[in-house]
Amino acid sequence: MVARNSLDKMATSIATLDREEVKSRLKHFKGRFRLDFTDDYLDKLSVDRLRHILLAALITAKSHS
């Protein structure tokens, strides 16, 4: 389980990222699982939705490590 303090720090750091940085991190995500998004799909999502996906991926990857 991810510690509350760690989760807060992760969420805060993701909240400061702009759209292009979030897209880049999603496209180059290094974890136990692969994220496979096209630019077209990512461009249709709001920046808040992109941040949500990135946070969920990071939490999931961290909870399995």
The torsion angles phi and psi of 22, rounded to 5 degrees, stand at -65, -45
pLDDT per residue as tens, the chain (65 positions): 567 788 899 999 999 999 999 999 999 999 888 999 999 999 999 999 999 999 999 999 887 66
Question: Burial, 9: exposed, middle or buried (Cβ in 10 Å; 0-12, 13-18, 19+)?
Answer: exposed
- CA 22 – CA 54 distance, rounded (Å): 7
- Whether the model pTM is above 0.85: yes
- In the three-class reduction of DSSP (H, G, I as helix; E, B as strand; rest coil), residue 18 is classed as coil
Chain centroid to CA 45: how far? 13
pLDDT (0 to 100) of residue 21: 98
Tokens, residue 56: 């969920």
